[in-house]
Every structure is written in C-alpha cells, then in structure tokens.
Amino acid sequence: MRRTSILWRSFLVIGILVLAILSLMPTIRWYSHSDESRVEKLTTDEIKNLESKKISLGLDLQGGIRVVLEVDTTGIPQNERKDAVDRVIAKIRTRIDQFGVSEPSVAKEGTNKIVVELPGIADTDRAINLIQSTAFLEFKLVDEKGDVTKYLNPETNEVLPNAILPTGREILFQYTRDENGNPIKRPWLIKSKTLLTGDMIKDARMNFPSGQFGYPYVSLEFDKKGGQIFYRITSQHQKELLAIILDGIVVSAPVIDEPIPSGKAVIRGSFTIDSASDLALKLRTGALPAPVIVLHNQTIGPTLGKDSIYYGTISIIIGGILVMLFMIFYYKLSGIIVDFALLINIIIILGIMTLFDFTLTLPGIAGLILTVGMAVDANVLIFERTKEELRLGKTVGAALDAGFKKAWITILDANVTTLIAALVLFKFGTGPIKGFAVTLSIGIISSMFTAIVFTKLIFDIFLNNFKVKSLSI
C-alpha cells in the first residue's frame, strides 16, 4: 500500500514540477539575454514568442504609465450612470487591447473613476489621448454662403461674445499647420444638422497615398445602413463641402465630387503615422458614451523597474538562504529536505504565474518573499509534532505519520484563513494590492502542497528503501 501511494505521489510531484519548469523556460531564455544580445542572437519570431510566453511584469517593474480618470456623468440620467461608466470601461479596454499594450489594467474605482495602467508605454501624451478622446464623429454640411469672419474677433480669431449666429448654424475650427510648421486655426460656418455619425462605421484603417509622398489618411467603411445614408448625402449635395468633425473639431471639409455608392469615405489631414493609426483605432472601436477627465497621471521609468527586480531578487535570495540555514541548523537532515521543498515551492509559484498569465508586481515580489518565510511554517508544525511522537517511543515511520496527521488540521486552518484574506484583497484591491494577493494566494497553495505532499513523499521514499532507525530532526 505504501509503495503504491509513493508511486502515484511521485508521478504527481514530477508532473507538476515538469509543467512548472516548462512554463518557466521562455522566461529563463528571455532574461538570459541582454536587450542587445537578444536582438543579435534571436529571430523576430523567437523574440515575439518568448515575449508572449514569459512571466508578465506589472507597471512598477516594467515601467509605463498609470492614469486615473473620472467619467463626466452630469448629462446622464441617474439610473443610467452606472451603465455609462461600465460602457466607458469596455470601450477603453477595447482601444487599449487593439493598441497592443501587453498586460494592461483597466479597473473601476468607486462609482465613476477608472484606473488605467499601461506597462511598457513611454509616450504618455499619445496614450492619454487614446484613452481620453471621446472620438465622436459627425458629418455636417458647410454653409459656404455665410461669412464666418463677421462673427469672429479679427485679432484673436475667437468667436465674439455677443455674436448672434443664424438659426441652425455653428462655428467650429480646424487646426492645421502651414509649410513652415506654424499652427493655423481655421474657422468654419457649419450647418448644425448632423447627417451621419460614426456609430455606423463598420471599419476604419490607416492607409498611405499611392505616391511616394503625402500624409497618411484614414479610410472608413460604413455598415449597410450607414452606406445608404452616405450615398444619399453624396447624391443630394454634390459640389458642396462636407465637414468631417471629430469631438467638435473639423478634421477636414472635402468637396463632394460625385455620389459614393460604396459606403466608403476618406479622412485626410496633416496626420502622422501614429495620429492616423490612433484615429482609425478610436473610430473602429466606437465613441465613448460619456466624456472622461484625467484626474492624475504618473509615469514610471523602466530603470526603476529594473532596480526593483534586482533588489527584489536579492531579497528573495538572502531571505531564502537565511531560512534554509536556520532549518538546517535547527532540524538537521530533515531541514535539508525542507530546504529542497522550498526551492521546489518557488519554482511552482513562478510556473503557475507564468502558466496562467498572472502579472508579477513589486508587491507581488514582497508576497513571494513573505511566502518563502511562511513556506516552512507547516514543516515546523509537522516536525514539532513528530518530535513529540518520538519522545513517546514510537518508531520513525509511526512518528512521522502521526506528526503529519496531527499537524494537518492546524496547517489547514492557518492557511485557509490567510487565503481568505488574500482572496478578499484580490477581489476588492487594485493594481499593486492585487499583485500581492496573487503571489500570496498561489504561495499558500503551493506551500501546502510541498509541505504535505512533497516532504512526506521524500520521507516515505527513505523509510521504504532504507532501514531508518533514527530521525535527524
């Protein structure tokens, strides 16, 4: 019976350990190269493959930005505000996913606040613009007969405070640059009626002109209903100017040369590749249902992250060595078995985090360090119980069996209560707190496994294969 039990437990331990090591291999390969040697020695596909499978680092370790947003729900009925905030979160998350950020975090905080964490992002302004921009697209006709200048202050080019516009008219501005790069603010007299909105956009992509030179542009494709409306607009208003307006700003105002039955349109302007790509992304994912305000943003440099990883690793090594030395000093040969289990425990924790794509944060490293200290608690209880049984005159095998059985309930109670606290932190915490809760939770489960299953297996193998008359404990 003991031999059969040893066999299946051996398969279980080896299987879990092999799975953990295999899941960690991309991480080991990734960090075994410097940034320079990685580019020199690995192909592009290998780099992408390793990057997607390595352990994910949080914002505090990788560097990036953290933005706190507030959803402006003043114009939304009270009973619809919660839904509006949830839809804003969904839209922002979709934008970020298509932007290509690895391991982003978009979390609701309170009733109308959103915390966005983007690891590995250096261009703060571009990221905030992508997140914050409402991206509400409208198509309106330009009033070409009206004189917009009489409603403007000639010195400031701003609308006069006492200006009375004709009914159904509004003044919007277009922001461009001249050949020397100087900003130009051009006013347009617009007919207020919205003919078509971006809600009917089926797809939006950045494209380049067929020639070698020219600004990139954004091509739009409307859905069936939007295409029919766009065809009707272009049929009824040929040779008129159609203003393309994004968030109240005129992007362009092209002439409608002929009816467009294809349901496709083009937005041209002084776009860069990034701005055209971002505009296409925002139009593709749709407008935010409510405007958002940036309350706070924080940029974390990658150097700080590298230092955190370095010192965190040193802390784990030093803490682990001290714990291992103590166990050897106090429990002798039995302590060596526990030390081996401790190493296995760390491999399993990191393997599980990689396998299930959990993110390692700086507080997560703290949780890992704490786990190293807590991992031997269960074995301390077991060994002390075993000592008591040996003092009663029991054989080594009987004393170990009794020690594991009697300590089991205490170990379970202690770890379950800690696990409950960790799960509560994960459920209600944000960002760094979740990182701590993840490593602590995985560490508790892994520590119980190595303490109860692995160390018992090692002792049983020795007892089953050798005539052990005394226990070095």
In one-letter notation, the amino acid at residue 313 is T
Q: Are residues 240 and 339 in the same domain?
A: no
Torsion of CA 74, 77, 78, 80, to 10 degrees: -110
In a domain, 49, yes or no: no
Q: Is residue 459 part of a domain?
A: yes
Q: Report pLDDT for 431.
A: 63
- Can you tell me the distance from the alpha carbon of 272 to that of 152, in angstroms, rounded to the nearest whole number? 30
Same domain, 265 and 345: no
Q: Are residues 316 and 230 in the same domain?
A: no
Q: Is the pTM higher than 0.75?
A: no
Q: Report how far residue 185's alpha carbon sits from residue 203's, in angstroms, rounded to the nearest whole number.
A: 30
Q: 299, 334, 352: which is the final residue of a domain?
A: 299
Strands (E), 323-411: 359-360
CATH (domain of 456): 1.20.1640.10
pLDDT, position 188:
95
Q: Round to whole Å and give the CA distance between 228 and 224.
A: 6
Using CA atoms, how far apart are residues 115 and 262, in angstroms rounded to an integer?
41
Q: Could you tell me which residues are beta bridge partners of residue 149? A: none
58 in any annotated domain: no
Domain-terminating residue out of 299, 325, 355 = 299
Q: Are strands 56-57 and 359-360 parallel, antiparallel or unpaired?
A: parallel
Is residue 280 domain-shared with residue 392, that is, in the same domain? no
75 — phi, psi (to 5°)?
A: -95, 10
In a domain, 48, yes or no: no
Give the residue among 392, 381, 399, 373 at the shortest CA–CA distance from 472. Answer: 399
- Report yes or no: 196 and 141 within 8 Å, Cβ to Cβ: no
Its sign, for the CA torsion 50, 53, 59, 60, is: negative
Judgement on whether residues 159 and 17 belong to the same structural domain of the protein: no
Give residue 152's pLDDT.
93
Q: Looking at the structure, do residues 450 and 461 belong to the same domain, yes or no?
A: yes
Q: Closest Cα partner for 386 from 369, 363, 407, 355? A: 407
- Spatial distance between the Cα atoms of 36 and 53, rounded to a whole number of angstroms: 20
In a domain, residue 473? The reply is: no
Are 194 and 295 members of one domain?
A: yes
Q: Give average pLDDT by consecutive 10-residue segment, the chain, 473 residues.
A: 76 92 89 78 80 79 85 87 89 83 79 86 82 90 93 89 91 85 89 93 88 79 94 95 93 92 87 87 87 86 70 82 89 88 90 85 82 82 88 86 88 88 82 80 90 88 78 77
**Would residue 54 count as lying in a domain?**
no
CATH of the domain at 111: 3.30.1360.200
Same domain, 460 and 379: yes
For the record, the structure tokens of 369 come out as: 């360090």
432-449 vs 302-355: helix axis angle to the nearest 10?
A: 40
Within-domain flag for 454: yes
- Nearest one of 380, 378, 373 to 319, comparing CA atoms: 373
Angle between helical axes of 377-391 and 362-375 (0-180°, round to 10): 0
pLDDT of amino acid 355: 87
175 CB-near residues (< 8 Å, 6+ apart): 183, 184, 185, 186, 249
Cα–Cα dist 437/435, whole Å:
5
Check whether residue 456 and residue 337 sit in a common domain: yes
Q: How far apart are CA 455 and CA 338, in angstroms?
A: 7
Q: Does residue 178 sit in the same domain as residue 96? A: yes
Counted domains in the chain: 2
Distance CA 336, CA 342 (A): 10
What size, in residues, is the chain?
Answer: 473
- Four-residue CA torsion sign, 388, 393, 399, 402: negative
Examine the fold and report which residue of 251, 275, 299 is the final residue of a domain before the chain moves on.
299
Q: Say yes or no: 207 and 337 in one domain.
A: no
Domain for residue 50, yes or no?
Answer: no
Range of the domain at 175: 70-299
DSSP E strand stretches across 151-307 = 169-177, 183-191, 196-197, 201-207, 217-222, 242-246, 249-252, 264-267, 292-300
Q: Are residues 224 and 309 in the same domain?
A: no
pLDDT at residue 1 in the model: 45
